Amino acid sequence: MEHRYLGNSGLKISEIAYGNWLTHGSQVEEDAATACVRQALDEGITTFDTADVYANTKAESVLGRALIGQRRESLEIFTKVYWPTGPGGPNDSGLSRKHIMESINGSLTRLQTDHVDLYQAHRYDTETPLVETMQAFADVVRSGKALYIGVSEWTADQIRAGHALAQDLGISLISSQPQYSMLWRVIEDEVVPTSEELGIGQIVWSPIAQGVLTGKYKPGQPVPEGSRATDENGGANMISLWLNDNVLNAVTRLEPIAADAGLSMAQLAVAWVLQNPNVSAAIIGASRPEQVTDNAKASGVKLDDDVLKAIDEALGDAVLRDPAVTAQSAPATRPT
């Protein structure tokens, strides 16, 4: 497993991170989740990403129990704040000082640690002044409860404004966590150039497009039983964008490219995002340990220019590139 610096900070993270969105606490039983975490550790993965909203806080608890007994200094544990947690009261979401301060304490308790390495704003809060949010993050860092801060699905302009305030407050905003894959490239025109300028690294989620880039979903065929497309807890809604014949036929054209490169389809997809020099890590998820092993083999893979060109030709107009999509991922009002 290779490691990369996160942005221009001195923090090194495994270039493949393990995340438990849609799995721990909901999609898979805890024994299976723990087995996946232990397999990740066996593969040399040191970076673990979660969020308080995943399974309404249960995912953090599952991860915390799965990491018991591990040397804390050898791990990089990331979590996030923004989406509603708890019973959904008026202050149970957003990036207000109240919600941030209460949320970091809850996350640390569930994760069974006295600090997280990275605390991330899970979306941009349109109802809280950005200065209030950044001041609260600064206090979290100064208290030792987080070492660095990051954002997720913020636009280039939002990242620039947040970074400027962080600098004024003397704290390090070092990361952005967007969706990014062969099919979803909306960060390339604006977010990536801005992040490169500011020294911010990408920790990308869904590098295999919720499983579509594994090739398991076939055009004109029912979705596989037990797959994410059948998960009514959130997976089915997320993956539906890709379940059309145009995309699935394009993905089928990737199969000989992966075979010629000596890679599985998942490995090709994860390796592809890691070719972007602004990507510090790709987050993988799993419901079975063997999926972790397969994905981890993408670490260190270098794809030749002719392979990258063949991928672009195979996918054609199935790729989504519009940078305006990033702004659409944040609710117009604070969710409840």
- In this predicted model, what pLDDT tens digit does every residue of 140-170 receive, in sequence order? 999 999 999 999 999 999 999 999 999 999 9
* CATH code, 88: 3.20.20.100
Catalytic residue, chosen from 18, 54, 119, 148, is: 54
**210, 184, 213: which is closest to 23 by C-alpha?**
210
Task: Evaluate whether residue 215 is within a structural domain.
Answer: no
Mean pLDDT computed over every residue of the chain: 94
Q: pLDDT-based confidence at 233, cuts 50/70/90? A: low
Asked if 229 contacts 223 with a C-beta cutoff of 8 angstroms, the reply is: yes
**What's the confidence (pLDDT) of residue 73?**
98
Report the 3 state secondary structure along 293-323.
HHHHCCCCCCCCHHHHHHHHHHHHHHCECCC
Domain residues for the domain of 146 are 3-208+278-301
Task: Evaluate whether residue 255 is within a structural domain.
Answer: no
The SS3 assignment for 228 reads helix
Task: Evaluate whether residue 262 is within a structural domain.
Answer: no
Task: Evaluate whether residue 162 is within a structural domain.
Answer: yes
Task: Evaluate whether residue 155 is within a structural domain.
Answer: yes
pTM: 0.94
Instruction: Give catalytic status of residue 54 as yes or no.
Output: yes
Task: Evaluate whether residue 250 is within a structural domain.
Answer: no
Residue-wise pLDDT tens digits, 76-119 = 999 999 999 988 899 999 999 999 999 999 999 999 999 999 99
Task: Evaluate whether residue 187 is within a structural domain.
Answer: yes
Q: Exposed, middle or buried, 10 (CB in 10 Å: 0-12/13-18/19+)? A: exposed
Judge whether residue 220 has pLDDT over 90. no
Residue-wise pLDDT tens digits, 184-212 = 999 999 999 999 999 999 999 999 999 99
Q: How many structural domains are present in the chain?
A: 1
Residue-wise pLDDT tens digits, 245-295 = 999 999 999 999 999 999 999 999 999 999 999 999 999 999 899 999 999
Give the helix/strand (H/E) hosting 40: helix 30-42
Asked if 176 contacts 193 with a C-beta cutoff of 8 angstroms, the reply is: no
Task: Evaluate whether residue 154 is within a structural domain.
Answer: yes
**312, 54, 4: which is closest to 188 by C-alpha?**
312
Asked if 274 contacts 306 with a C-beta cutoff of 8 angstroms, the reply is: no
Instruction: Provide the pairing of β-strand 146-151 with 173-176.
Output: parallel
